[in-house]
Amino acid sequence: MSRQYHDPQWEENLRRREEEIKRRFRPARSAQLNETQDETVEAPRHDREQQRQRDQQVREQRELRIIEDYAYQQRMQEMQERRRQQEQQTYHNVGYDPQHGEHWMYSRPQEFRSEQEREEHVRRGEEEIRRRFKQERR
Asked if the structure places residue 120 within a domain, the reply is no
Asked if the structure places residue 34 within a domain, the reply is yes
Asked if the structure places residue 63 within a domain, the reply is yes
Asked if the structure places residue 48 within a domain, the reply is yes
Which of these, 36, 51, 5, 128, lies nearest to 136 by C-alpha position?
128
Q: What is the total count of domains within the chain?
A: 1
Between 6 and 47, where is the model more confident?
47
pLDDT at 68: 94
Is it the case that residue 3 has pLDDT exceeding 80? no
Report the percent of the chain where pLDDT is more than 70.
67
Asked if the structure places residue 135 within a domain, the reply is no
Domain residue limits at 89: 12-95
**Residues with Cβ within 8 Å of residue 87, at least 6 apart in sequence:** 98
| 3-state helix, strand and coil shares in percent for the chain, rounded to the nearest 5 | 80, 5, 15
Asked if the structure places residue 138 within a domain, the reply is no
Mean pLDDT of 22-37: 70
pLDDT at 24: 78
Mean pLDDT of 67-90: 90
Asked if the structure places residue 33 within a domain, the reply is yes
